[in-house]
Every structure is written in structure tokens, then in C-alpha cells.
DNA sequence: AGTAATTACGTAGAACGTAATGATA
DNA sequence: TATCATTACGTTCTACGTAATTACT
């Protein structure tokens, strides 16, 4: 049994049982993969894949177990490499953050700025996606850390940690009637105007819906976006009023738009970070997390990952 | 990185940083190991072992982490092989039980008899030792299942499951004065005679001590053994009275000895089985466990191992 | 027909063993 | 001096690529 053979297995599976694509992805030849998989199957005495003549068409029952374990082994091998890297150079490496537009644009900049100054040699990259996509990326090992606000409780592989709570604001163009009610805006007032807000998969959209439902109001959502900047643009064009994360409004930058605090209208949302429990995090990753949420010290994070018993 | 290299690392560590012994154990040449370890260290860019000139004298800080992860990887590789074996032939394989003399001699026989009849092709072996040794064997992967009564709560790698409770009896030779008190024996009565019982590391010996302590009595323990049969022998010779597990007394087999129930004198003990949480158990292993403790179905055991979320 | 996997075969490389050397206690 | 690890070197085996073949859609 060789680690490469396991890599081949898993990659063929990931590529939808296509040996050729797996070969491409792994920069090797397709006959090589074919042969190594057969060798492994011979060694184990069990078929991993079901073949219809010469096509790989399915995974056998033992194959499913074998793939699961192989995946774990490869992950640990990955961790092992990272441990080594950590000790070779604590300041160098890479860190992949998967997050939503709102976080990337409004919550993360100061943290990232600090981080880049502190760890100039670390290659930091940000991947955007919906909360679900983000978590999937972390689960798949394509990202190290997920930062999102919603829909991220369904991944048992991930440890989730609360970062901070935030509220919403209603943004309106200049001279909007809601501005006259300043301080006393109700949900009913808001429901009178066409609404532009986040896409359903995103940042606490469900909290917005729930608030209206509870008040037995039907909001007229005319446009949804995954992106606060898009929402602002259309609010600026007078197509409706926006409901956005308060932190996404800046009095100076967002000229011609005005924010009305709506923390009394909608439940606050909690932004969380998610990490694979079985991942090995580099030291600077812990540093990044604490930079973003000071309460999340290395100890706290490790405990949440279930690694505390070792230290 | 190759699985073999990891195997070499771990074996050198296990052999007390002795490369030659590791080579012997793995049936390969010592230069081979030396070279492969260096190759791996080069690849990782980190020393795993501290060398004093040409001697391996210690493990580096990263080395400790690397050894830990390597161990996990090798374990999983082991599991992978077992999965394959399971599917090749459900009825064939091996099962190693680590247990104490008392369990092996008095509690396990019916279960084992049944098991051998049901799975004639499985190579069953029993290793004896103290509760601590037993658990260490399971932790080290030298045994699959630990069965013991005491001192087995200190291994976080193991899942422990209760099997059954048992009480103690006092055994005495014929015509012993205690027999006249039948039914009303007290701790004070027992403390009047020289006592022969289990070694301290064993089967609930601490419960016996605690009972006397609580009653502010000092028992006169003249002999300890790890083995009920030894205890019986010396009781038969008139050297004292025995305190043993009730199940270890058989009225017909133990001619000349008489048992006095002592369940009111000592707390009952619970016999448990222990399994490595990250081990893959063969189907017949679950069957064995349930044969021994009917309440421990496969589901219950898997849940205790923390593997239930997958199925 | 076109796509995809296996077989056949040759080559470059790696793992391993033997023997010799160097270092440590 | 004896033990133990590394270096040197040669052989065998194996992983991998190219090309040809076979099977499936």
C-alpha cells in the first residue's frame, strides 16, 4: 500500500470515477493510475471500483469505506507536511480564507491589513462564496478557514466559533420619507417600500424574513444580491430601500445614501468561523483568527477543535 | 513521503531511538532505515531526530508532532487493510483479547466457546496482564479488545463500556469459624483472620481496601496474587481466608473450600471492555462483545467509539 | 466514430542489501 | 574495543511514460 495509490483512488472518486481526468489533475499518465489502483486492489483482495468492462461505473461497498479512510490518511499526511513547514519557517506559508462578500469587504480589511504587516511572507488568499460553498471548501481542504454568518451549522467536520454579533440598517436615498421618522421606524414602515437585500443563502437573510413573518407583514423584495455594493447601487438609483449589515455603511464613502439603524427590527446575527476539526493550523492562522476575534485565543480554538487533550 | 518512511520513524522511536533494533524488528537493513529517514527529513526540511554525531539521542520538537501524526496515519492504514479483509471473508481473521486471569478463567469461557463455534476460522488469542498492561496493549495496537475491572479509566484513546457488575465472596477451608456465622459475617469478623487476595493492581482490590478503611479496620493481608487459583490453593493449605470474585468459586470444583457471600461488605465492581476509538473492528469482534455483554450491540459500541455519525 | 480504460513495453529511478568507513561510549 | 550510524556501491524491482489495443457509448 502506497500513499500515491490512495491519492489515485481518492482523485478518481473526486473526478466522478473518471480515471483520465484524475490523471490530468495529478499531472500523471492515465495508465499509471489504472495500474496502481489495480495493484492496490490486488493487494487488498477487494475491488474498490465497480467496472463495467473497461469503464469505472461505481464504488463497491468496501470501496466506500476504503475511500473514507484513504481520505483521512491523505489529510493527515497533509497535516504532517504542515507541521514541518511550521517549524521550517513560522512566518512563511499560505492561508486561505473562504468567506462571503460582506465579510471580505467590510469586516476583514483591518484584520487582513494587520496580518499582512505582521506576516509579510504568508501568502494570503480569499475565496468568496455563499456560506454553504465556503464551508464545503473548508471541508474539501480547499480553504483553511471559513468565515460566515449563516447556514454553517450543518457540517460535523467543522468546529464553529462565534466571532461577533452585528445588526442591520435600512439604507435609503436622500430625501426619503423614512428619514422623517428617524428613530421611530417600524417594520410596517419598512414594508411599505420596495426592498433590496441579500440573497436568501446569505448573511442572515432568514432573520430578515422571520422578522416580517412574525409581524405578519409581507415585504416587497424587488431585488436580491449577494453583495452589499450591488444593493447600495440600486438603492442609489431609487429602486427601493436596502436592508444591509450596519457595518457595511459608511457615511462618507456612501454619499447620497443614509442609514437608519434597524437593530430593534431584526434579530442580531452572529458571524462565525469554521475550521476542520482534523486540520493542522499554522501558528499564523491562529494569529489571524485572534486578530479577527480577540476572544478566540489559540487555546480556545484548539479546545473547540477537540485537540486540547494533547497539550 | 512514503508510508514506509513513516513506519521507520515510528519504529525507531518505539525501539528507544535505536535504528538497528528497528531494522531488526522490521526485517530490513539498518542502512535502509537510516537513509529513508534522512530522505524524509530532507523532504520535510525538518529533523525528526536529534543526532549526537552518529547516534540518535532525542526527538526534536517538530519530530514529536510528526511521530504523533505518523502513528495516526499508520493506524488508519491498518484499519484500511482490515476493512478489506472484512469484505474478503467476514468469517476469517484474528481477534486478540487482552484480559486478566480472572476474566479469562471465570467470565470468558462460555463466550469464547460460543464464539469459536460460530466463527471457527477466526484465530482467537488471549493475552493476560494487569489492567494497566491490558489497556496499554490495546493502545499500542497489540490487542483489539481489553476486558478488565479496574484502572482502565486513564486512557483517553480507549472507549470503555460497562459489561456487568459482580460481587465478592470470602472463601474459607472446611470447619472454619466464619462458617458458623453464615449470613451474618461482618468486616470485623473478616479482619480477624489472615487474608489472601488479589494483587493491588488487579480486579477491584482497591474496593476491598476502601471497605476496610471506611470501617477503620486494618486487614492482615498475608499474601496477594494476580490469580484466583493461587489464592484458592493457599486458602486450601490453611494459610488464611480468601477474598475473591464470587464467580470464581464453584461449589463442586473447589472441593474443601466454602464461599461466604460478601456482597454486603464490599462495593460491587464493574467489568468493562475497552476499545481504541480509532480502531476498525471486524464484524465478528462486535459479535464477540455482544456475546460477552448482550447489552453491547454493535450500535451501542460504535456510538461509544464516536463513529455513529457516519452510519 | 469517438471516448475511455487496459495491456505491452521500455526506461529512469528508487529502495534495499552488502560491505566498508566513521563516530561514540 | 565494541556498538551503532552513515557512506559507498551495486542490483533488483518498480513506478511511470509512450504507444498500441480493446471495450464501451
- Residues in chain B, total: 311
Over chain A, what is the mean pLDDT?
Answer: 91
Question: Cβ–Cβ of B1/A3 closer than 8 Å?
Answer: yes
Please state the domain count of chain A.
3
Say yes or no: Cβ of B64 under 7 A from any atom of strand C: no
As a whole number of angstroms, the distance between CA B290 and CA B293 comes to 5
How many beta-carbon pairs below 8 A join chains A and B?
Answer: 78
**pLDDT score for A150:** 73
Which of B72, B73, B83 lies closest to A62 in CB terms?
B83
Asked if residue A309 belongs to a domain, the reply is no
Shared domain for A59 and A208, answered yes or no, is no
The label of the residue with cell 478566540 reads A296
Residue of A nearest to B66 (CA): A80
Among chain B residues 21 through 40, which have CB within 7 angstroms of nucleic chain C?
Answer: 27-32, 35-36, 39
- Residue pLDDT, tens place only, A167-221: 999 999 999 999 988 678 999 999 999 999 998 888 678 889 999 999 999 999 9
Q: What is the CATH number of the domain that holds A47?
A: 1.10.10.10
Residues of B with CB under 8 A from a CB of A: 1-3, 44-46, 60-62, 65-66, 68-70, 72-73, 76-77, 79-81, 83-88, 156, 280, 309-310
The H or E element containing residue B97 is strand B93-99
- Of chain B, the percentage scoring pLDDT greater than 90 comes to 83
pLDDT value for A278:
92
Task: Tell me: do B59 and B203 sit in the same domain.
Answer: no
- A69 within domain boundaries: yes
pLDDT at residue number B137: 93
H-helix or E-strand containing A51? strand A49-52
> Of A84, A115, A139, which residue constitutes the final position of a domain?
A84
- Do A276 and A259 lie in one domain? The reply is no
Q: Do B1 and A77 touch (CB under 8 A)?
A: yes
Which residue's CA lies closest to nucleotide D25 at its C1' atom? Answer: A55
Angle separating helix axes B3-14 and B61-88, nearest 10 degrees: 120
**pLDDT higher than 80, residue A124:** yes
Range of the domain at A282: 89-163+270-304
**Does one domain contain both B44 and B189?**
no
The pLDDT tens digits for B128-150 are 998 889 999 999 999 999 999 87
Residue B311 pLDDT: 34
Are residues B180 and B34 part of one domain?
Answer: no
Q: What gap in Å lies between CA B13 and CA B56, rounded to an integer? A: 10
Q: Do B87 and A2 touch (CB under 8 A)?
A: no
The pLDDT of residue A309 is 34
Residue A116 (CA) to nucleotide D3 (C1'), in angstroms, measures: 52
Whether residue A37 sits in one domain with residue A174: no
Question: Which sign does the torsion angle of CA A7, A13, A18, A22 carry?
Answer: negative
Alpha-carbon A214 to chain mean position: 29
Q: Verify that A180 and A256 share a domain, yes or no.
A: yes
Q: Residue B309 domain-assigned?
A: no
What is the DSSP code (8-state) at residue A226?
Answer: S
Q: How far is the CA of A132 from the C1' of D14 (A)?
A: 44
Q: What is the CATH number of the domain that holds B140?
A: 3.40.190.10
pLDDT at B156: 87
Q: Give the domain-ending residue among B68, B84, B100.
A: B84
Same domain, B146 and B180: no
Quick one: pLDDT band at residue A152, thresholds 50, 70, 90? low
User: Residues B179, B256: one domain?
Assistant: yes
> Is residue A310 situated within a structural domain?
no
Q: How many other CB atoms are there within 10 angstroms of residue A113's CB atom?
A: 11
User: Which of A46, A68, A86 is facing B84, going by the closest CB pair?
Assistant: A46
> Which residue, of B65, B84, B103, is where some domain finishes?
B84
The reported pLDDT for the residue numbered B184 is: 82
Mutate to test the interface with A, among B83, B277, B311 (most CBs of A within 10 A): B83
Nucleotides of D under 7 A from a protein CB: 4-8, 15-20, 22-25
Residue A80 placed within a domain: yes
**Residues of chain A contacting residue B88, judged by C-beta atoms under 8 Å apart:** 44-46
Q: Do A283 and A142 sit in the same domain of this protein?
A: yes
Across chain B, mean pLDDT equals 91
Which of the four pLDDT bands, split at 50, 70 and 90, describes residue A85? very high
Within-domain flag for A136? yes
Top mean pLDDT of B25-39, B173-187, B193-207 is at: B25-39
Per-residue pLDDT, averaged over B87-92, amounts to: 92
In a domain, B310, yes or no: no
Please state, in angstroms and rounded to a whole number, the distance separating the CA atoms of residues A123 and B262: 70
Are B280 and B148 in a shared domain? Answer: yes
Any domain includes A261: yes
Are A69 and B79 in contact (CB < 8 Å)?
A: yes
The reported pLDDT for the residue numbered B182 is 63
Sign of CA dihedral A107, A108, A114, A118: positive
A56 CB less than 7 Å from any atom of strand C: yes
Whether residue B263 is found in the same domain as residue B275: no
CB-closest option in B45, B72, B80 to A66: B80
Segment A87-116 mean pLDDT: 93
Q: Give the contacts of A46 (CB within 8 A, at least 6 positions apart).
A: A60, A62, A63, A66, B84, B87, B88
Amino acid at each position: 500500500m502506497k500513499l500515491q495509490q490512495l491519492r489515485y483512488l481518492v482523485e478518481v472518486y473526486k473526478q466522478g470515477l473518471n480515471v483520465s481526468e484524475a490523471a490530468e489533475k495529478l499531472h500523471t499518465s492515465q495508465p499509471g493510475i489504472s495500474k496502481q489502483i489495480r495493484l492496490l486492489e490486488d493487494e487488498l483482495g477487494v475491488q474498490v471500483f465497480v467496472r463495467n468492462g473497461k469503464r469505472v461505473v461505481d464504488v463497491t461497498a468496501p470501496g466506500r469505506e476504503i475511500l473514507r479512510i484513504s481520505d483521512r490518511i491523505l489529510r493527515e499526511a497533509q497535516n504532517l507536511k504542515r507541521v514541518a513547514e511550521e517549524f521550517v519557517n513560522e512566518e512563511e506559508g499560505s492561508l486561505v480564507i473562504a468567506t462571503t462578500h460582506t465579510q471580505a469587504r467590510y469586516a476583514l480589511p483591518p484584520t487582513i491589513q494587520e496580518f499582512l504587516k505582521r506576516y509579510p511572507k504568508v501568502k494570503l488568499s480569499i475565496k468568496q462564496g455563499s456560506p454553504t460553498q465556503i464551508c464545503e471548501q473548508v471541508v474539501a481542504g480547499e480553504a483553511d478557514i471559513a468565515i460566515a454568518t449563516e447556514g454553517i451549522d450543518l457540517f460535523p467536520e467543522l468546529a464553529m466559533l462565534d466571532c461577533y454579533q452585528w445588526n442591520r440598517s435600512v439604507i435609503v436615498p436622500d430625501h426619503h420619507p423614512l428619514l422623517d421618522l428617524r428613530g421611530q421606524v417600524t417594520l410596517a414602515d419598512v414594508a411599505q417600500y420596495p426592498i433590496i437585500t441579500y440573497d436568501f443563502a446569505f448573511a442572515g437573510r432568514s432573520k430578515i424574513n422571520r422578522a416580517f413573518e412574525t409581524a405578519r407583514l409581507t415585504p416587497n423584495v424587488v431585488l436580491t444580491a449577494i453583495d452589499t455594493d450591488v444593493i447600495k447601487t440600486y438603492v442609489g438609483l431609487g429602486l427601493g430601500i436596502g436592508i444591509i449589515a450596519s457595518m457595511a455603511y459608511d457615511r462618507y464613502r456612501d454619499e447620497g445614501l443614509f442609514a437608519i439603524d434597524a437593530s430593534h427590527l431584526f434579530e442580531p446575527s452572529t458571524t462565525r468561523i469554521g475550521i476542520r476539526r482534523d486540520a493542522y493550523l499554522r501558528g499564523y492562522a491562529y494569529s489571524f483568527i485572534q486578530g479577527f476575534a480577540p476572544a478566540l485565543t489559540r487555546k480556545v480554538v484548539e479546545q473547540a477543535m477537540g485537540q486540547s487533550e494533547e497539550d
